[in-house]
């Protein structure tokens, strides 16, 4: 399914694929453990912030990044 999922951005406007490679799995080997979910969340956040930053260059919106 990864090959098919990887092609989605070619079909669905404004869609992106975030890799889960290296995210640690839970004992059931089907889900991530807490550390894996945190890593995946960081990857999603990084992509989203880059998209918001790009869109702010073309608008009057001000984006505030909080720590």
Give residue-wise pLDDT tens across range 3-21: 999 999 999 999 999 999 9
pLDDT in tens, 5-63: 999 999 999 999 999 999 999 999 999 999 999 999 999 999 999 999 876 666 655 55
Its pTM stands at: 0.72
Buried b (16+ CB within 10 A) or exposed e, 7-25: eeeeeeeeeeeeeeeebee
Largest CA distance in the chain: 47
- Which candidate, 13, 10, 32, 11, places its Cα nearest to that of 21? 32
């Amino acid at each position: 399914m990864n090959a098919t999922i990887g092609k989605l951005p070619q079909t669905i406007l404004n869609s992106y694929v975030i890799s889960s490679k290296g995210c640690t799995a839970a004992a059931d080997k089907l889900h991530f453990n807490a550390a894996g979910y945190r890593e995946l969340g960081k990857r999603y956040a990084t992509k989203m912030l880059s998209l918001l930053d790009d869109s702010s260059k073309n608008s009057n919106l001000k984006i505030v990044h909080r720590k």
